[in-house]
């Protein structure tokens, strides 16, 4: 990734592991954060587990108090039954349906203020 580290204002990002481009980008960002000693936390869970379980995982992530948080949906869990796992935008597009339901992440995001 070629961009100035000071431009990173990420708070919480969510990607499906099955979206190879997005998950690769997240892995590269995590490596860069480690190299620059920027604190972050991450969690992974299936997008199709009960909503309460998802929010509990996000709550546990956010309670760590890190300024940057990565949420990964386990590969194959964003696709509806019968969907083609090899479709061009499958996991990427279907992940939005689940991401927007993460109340804990959404609430946390709206609590953030520019310093």
Nearest 5°: phi and psi at 71? -120, 125
* Domain total of the chain: 1
Q: Which residues contact 35 (CB under 8 A, 6 or more apart)?
A: none
**Which residue's structure tokens are 């609590």?**
111
Position 10 scores a pLDDT of: 55
Convert the pLDDT of each residue in 37-64 to its tens digit: 999 999 999 999 999 999 999 999 999 9
Task: Domain of residue 63: give its range.
Answer: 5-15+24-111
Q: What is the pTM of this model?
A: 0.80
Is it the case that residue 1 has pLDDT exceeding 70? no
Q: What is the per-residue pLDDT for 43? A: 93
Per-residue confidence (pLDDT) for residue 100, from 0 to 100: 86
The pLDDT of residue 37: 93
Cα distance between residue 67 and residue 102, in whole Å: 18
Q: What angle do CA 2, 74, 34 make, to 5 degrees?
A: 35
Greatest mean pLDDT range, 17-31, 57-71, 73-87 = 57-71
Tokens of 34: 């480690």
């Amino acid at each position: 990734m070629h961009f100035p580290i000071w431009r990173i204002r990420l708070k919480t990002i969510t990607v499906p592991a099955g979206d190879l481009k997005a998950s690769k980008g997240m892995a590269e960002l995590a490596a860069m954060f480690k190299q620059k000693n920027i604190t972050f936390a991450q969690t992974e869970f299936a997008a199709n587990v009960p909503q309460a379980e998802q929010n509990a995982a996000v709550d546990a992530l956010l309670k760590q108090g890190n300024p940057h948080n990565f949420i990964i949906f386990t590969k194959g869990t964003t696709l509806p039954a019968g969907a083609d796992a090899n479709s061009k935008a499958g996991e990427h597009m279907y992940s939005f349906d689940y991401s927007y339901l993460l109340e804990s992440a959404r609430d946390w995001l709206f609590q953030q203020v520019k310093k």
